[in-house]
Amino acid sequence: MRCQDLDVMGRWWVLLCFVLRVLQWALTEAKEWSVTIPSEINVLTRSCVVIPCTFTHPPSHDPSHIIWYSYSGTKYPIVYSKRPQDVIEPFRGKTEFVGDVKSGNCSLKISHALPAMNEYQLYPWIDPDTVKHKFYHKTVKLKVQDTIPAVQLIVDGNPKEGETVHISCMVVHTCISSPPTLSFGDTSGDVQNNQTDLGQGYWRTESTISFPARASDQGRAVGCWVRHPGRQVAPTWVEVSVHYAPRSVHVSAENSTTLLGESVTLECRSDANPSSSTFLWYLQRDGSVRTLTAREDSITVTDLLHGQNSFYCMAQNVLGMANSSSPFIITVEYKPSISPESSCVIQGHALRCWCKVRSLPSASVEWTVDGTDAHAALSHVEMFSVRQNHTLSGELLFNKTVQHRTVTCRAFNGHGQQEHALLIKAPPQNVSISQRPLRVLEGQSLTLSCSSHAFPEVLSYSWYQVYQDREVQLSEGSDRLHLQVVGRHMGPYRCSARNEIGQSRSPSTLVCVDFAPVISPASSCTLENEQVRCECVVESYPLAAVTWTAPGVQTNRMVSMELSGSLKSTLTGHMWNGHDHLITCHAANKYGQISLQLTHKGSSDTSTSSLAAAGCGAAALVLLIAAILYCTQRRYGPRLKKSSPKNSNVALQVSACIRV
Ligand SMILES: *[C@@H]1O[C@H](CO)[C@@H](O)[C@H](O)[C@H]1NC(C)=O
Ligand SMILES: *[C@@H]1O[C@H](CO)[C@@H](O)[C@H](O)[C@H]1NC(C)=O
Ligand SMILES: *[C@@H]1O[C@H](CO)[C@@H](O)[C@H](O)[C@H]1NC(C)=O
Ligand SMILES: *[C@@H]1O[C@H](CO)[C@@H](O)[C@H](O)[C@H]1NC(C)=O
Ligand SMILES: *[C@@H]1O[C@H](CO)[C@@H](O)[C@H](O)[C@H]1NC(C)=O
Ligand SMILES: *[C@@H]1O[C@H](CO)[C@@H](O)[C@H](O)[C@H]1NC(C)=O
Ligand SMILES: *[C@@H]1O[C@H](CO)[C@@H](O)[C@H](O)[C@H]1NC(C)=O
């Protein structure tokens, strides 16, 4: 039945007819001829290719041989036959049957693909002499190219230090009999090669190199060189990434020198993969290590100290941590500062001055004496200086010829200068005693204080009581001497002050005690030719007012004279009738009064004296005498010197107590 004839039978018949034809064709093909080949295959010029091919045939047919043709509308050009002379160019001598006819394998090998073979469509024909099946309906198109197939170079995972790095280099090809060779250049390691059949005529050559991961391999470029038959291509590169804990941790900064008060920015650098993400900072000063609060890789430090500041840092990533092995030292420079201890000391005839200067860089020192440069001011001057750490100790030595030299030390470096007037160290000067309270009545208590001008300061005081021929130490240490019950007999006292240079003494000093008047028993009158002259000597403090009672005496003159703290009142006059008259001397101050009837000297009458104590009346005769003795001793101090000339070591210059 012919389908073209079915017009009259209507459209239903057309469809039925078509389905039947398809079924008939399918069954015939299944039972009979079929060829499986790729529709297209890419081949690198000069490489080989095995075109995979399988076929089925009707059970009744026993296949015996195969010929490969190039597809053509009009002819049957042979590309493979057992008779090489039948093969067309460019295939002659380059094709080879590698299949097995009996087992349905019709694979064809082209040993050397040429550009001229490009675009040829090939197909096999089994037993062409006898089989009429139209094999040319299925062809494989040859794509012969000069394009180098891409190379795949892969690092397996992210190896950690100590693990194994696997790097695979892969390339797809068609020539299993002479596959491309892969190599890794100078990278050494364990290499394994593998060929994988990808089907459709393609193969993959894979070469894997394995070596232990070292931190030094981080960032290393590994190349894969692929050599295809007859050609070498440029290598493909891959960078190896090895993960490792931080190493080579160190601190860095733009400048390791700075000026006091300025800030410095430090960075913690480390070699780590992945990069360090956590940081700790340490600052070492004076032997102790302090952890800073900053956690960043960069810090700005403002509170730097004089001299050297040592910084360390610690860097950490997921694999571990490490400290910087050596400190980063920031040297902080500063202008000179002169130690307040710098001073001068008198050594015999010489004045030795020294100036201690801290600075960085080390300072230079200039000396001035009385405002003039030391070299110009002095004819003989010696100067030394010693530099140690950041301290310069300068020394100046010269003969002290003028009493009050001012010595100045000036220190300077590139950052500034400082000047310091040096104090002269000497034993304490102007040691003196003062009393408190200033006014104290006999029997009360008082405190003596010892003061002085001293540099360096006084370390200790001593108190002495001064006797005619010796001094007795009363106390040591305190600048105070407390006297519980004072009497006019106490003292004199002396204090001495001692500093590191030496010691000096105060003059011997009396205490100032207030007391009621006492009249010296030596007070008397003389009478000559009816002229009377009476002297009344009164001891008191404060000074007493002296008055006289002289009945029957015509007073000519009455004078009072103060003499070394005691008062001498003199009365002169004419005495009537030649009679004995009672002449009385009266003395009074705020503490009491006293009267004494004076005897006449130079008369033949028996002397009488009587004591008339009034008001205070407290002064007993014994006390009176003692007081007079005492007063004599203290008011006429210099006279004592004469009485004990042998005691030259006891300074007997007694100063009176000082009243203000
Ligand atoms: C056909 O023969 C080729 C060459 O000998 C071989 O590589 C291939 O594996 C065979 N194909 C089958 C399906 O056996
Ligand atoms: C070759 O590669 C294939 C697929 O990747 C794998 O299955 C096979 O084990 C490998 N052979 C060798 C010897 O490495
Ligand atoms: C480092 O600091 C010093 C002192 O402040 C300065 O003289 C020098 O120029 C600085 N150097 C640099 C490279 O900044
Ligand atoms: C780093 O140094 C600090 C201070 O010396 C120390 O406390 C710390 O343990 C060190 N850390 C490491 C990882 O060595
Ligand atoms: C100080 O004077 C003494 C003697 O007067 C002399 O021997 C000495 O060399 C002088 N020293 C200096 C530093 O001038
Ligand atoms: C100088 O430094 C050293 C050690 O660095 C130290 O032993 C010495 O005491 C220092 N000297 C002074 C005067 O500070
Ligand atoms: C000691 O006293 C004298 C005289 O009053 C005075 O010139 C001198 O400056 C005083 N000395 C000191 C160190 O105060």
Residue 149 CA to ligand 3 center (angstroms) comes to: 58
The residue whose C-alpha atom lies closest to atom 7 belonging to ligand 7 is 430
Which of helix, strand or coil describes residue 97? strand
- Supply 634's token pair: 């203290």
Residue 505 CA to ligand 7 center (angstroms) comes to: 14
Q: Are 299 and 263 in contact (CB under 8 A)?
A: no
Which listed ligand is nearest to 308 at the C-alpha?
6
Ligand 1 mutation target, pool 66, 100, 107, 108, most atoms within 8 A of CB: 107
Give pLDDT tens digits for 47-81: 999 999 999 999 888 999 999 999 988 889 999 99
Determine whether 263 is exposed, middle or buried from the number of CB atoms within 10 Å of its CB (0-12, 13-18, 19+).
exposed
The residue whose C-alpha atom lies closest to atom 9 belonging to ligand 1 is 52
Ligand 6 mutation target, pool 331, 388, 392, most atoms within 8 A of CB: 388
Residue type, 274: P
Which listed ligand is nearest to 429 at the C-alpha?
7
Instruction: Confirm or reject: Cβ of 398 under 6 Å from ligand 5.
Output: yes
Q: Are 533 and 639 in contact (CB under 8 A)?
A: no
The residue whose C-alpha atom lies closest to atom 14 belonging to ligand 3 is 255
The residue whose C-alpha atom lies closest to atom 7 belonging to ligand 2 is 196
Q: Are 517 and 589 in contact (CB under 8 A)?
A: yes
Residues having CB within 6 Å of any atom of ligand 3? 254-255, 257-259
Which listed ligand is nearest to 331 at the C-alpha?
3
Q: Are 280 and 266 in contact (CB under 8 A)?
A: no
CB atoms within 10 A of CB 262: 12
Contacts of 205 (CB under 8 A, 6+ apart): 170, 171, 173, 179, 180, 182, 193, 194, 195
The residue whose C-alpha atom lies closest to atom 6 belonging to ligand 4 is 323
Cis omega (within 30 of 0) on the bond before 437?
yes
Residue 616 backbone zone (phi > 0: left; psi -120 to 50: alpha; other: beta): alpha
- Supply 493's token pair: 């006292």
> Looking at ligand 3, which atom is closest to the CA of residue 257?
2
Distances (CA, A) of 143 to 114, 148, 173: 10, 13, 13
Exposure string for 547-580, b = 16+ CB within 10 A, e = fewer: bbebeebeeeeeeeeeeebbbbbbbbbebeeeee
> Looking at ligand 7, which atom is closest to the CA of residue 430?
1
In what helix (H) or strand (E) does residue 160 lie, and over which residues does it extend? none
CB atoms within 10 A of CB 137: 9
Ligand 7 mutation target, pool 403, 405, 423, 429, most atoms within 8 A of CB: 429
The residue whose C-alpha atom lies closest to atom 11 belonging to ligand 2 is 194
- Supply 453's token pair: 């001008």
pLDDT at 286: 79
Length of the chain: 660
- Supply 40's token pair: 């297209």
pLDDT at 172: 95
> Looking at ligand 5, which atom is closest to the CA of residue 378?
14
Q: How many CA atoms lie within 13 A of 462 on its CB side?
A: 12
Residue 521 CA to ligand 2 center (angstroms) comes to: 145
Residue 395 CA to ligand 5 center (angstroms) comes to: 16
Which listed ligand is nearest to 382 at the C-alpha?
5
Residue with tokens 């007391």: 515
Residue 322 CA to ligand 4 center (angstroms) comes to: 8
Instruction: Confirm or reject: Cβ of 380 under 6 Å from ligand 5.
Output: yes
Strand partners, 5: none
Residue type, 90: P
Distances (CA, A) of 538 to 169, 228, 549, 556, 658: 133, 144, 16, 21, 20
Instruction: Confirm or reject: Cβ of 89 under 6 Å from ligand 5.
Output: no
Instruction: Confirm or reject: Cβ of 339 under 6 Å from ligand 6.
Output: no
Exposure string for 226-261, b = 16+ CB within 10 A, e = fewer: bebbeeeeebbebebbbbbbbeebbbebeeeebeee
> Looking at ligand 5, which atom is closest to the CA of residue 379?
14
Distances (CA, A) of 270 to 310, 311, 317, 322, 647: 18, 15, 10, 9, 86
Give the Cα separation of 572 and 529 in Å (integer).
13
In what helix (H) or strand (E) does residue 641 lie, and over which residues does it extend? helix 637-643
Residue with tokens 């299944």: 30
Which listed ligand is nearest to 392 at the C-alpha?
6
Give the Cα separation of 222 and 217 in Å (integer).
10
Say if strands 460-466 and 407-413 run parallel, antiparallel, or are unpaired. unpaired
Residue 387 CA to ligand 5 center (angstroms) comes to: 27
pLDDT at 531: 86
The residue whose C-alpha atom lies closest to atom 13 belonging to ligand 2 is 194
Residues having CB within 6 Å of any atom of ligand 7? 429-430, 453
Which listed ligand is nearest to 320 at the C-alpha?
4
Give pLDDT tens digits for 557-608: 888 887 766 889 999 998 876 566 788 999 999 989 999 988 776 544 433 3
Which listed ligand is nearest to 388 at the C-alpha?
6
Instruction: Confirm or reject: Cβ of 195 under 6 Å from ligand 5.
Output: no
What are the per-10-residue average pLDDT scores of the chain (660 residues)? Answer: 50 64 57 88 94 92 92 91 90 93 93 93 93 90 92 92 94 93 93 94 96 91 91 89 94 91 93 93 88 91 86 95 94 92 84 90 89 79 81 83 76 93 88 88 91 91 92 92 82 91 90 87 86 90 88 83 81 76 89 88 43 33 37 33 32 48
Ligand 3 mutation target, pool 257, 258, 262, 360, most atoms within 8 A of CB: 257
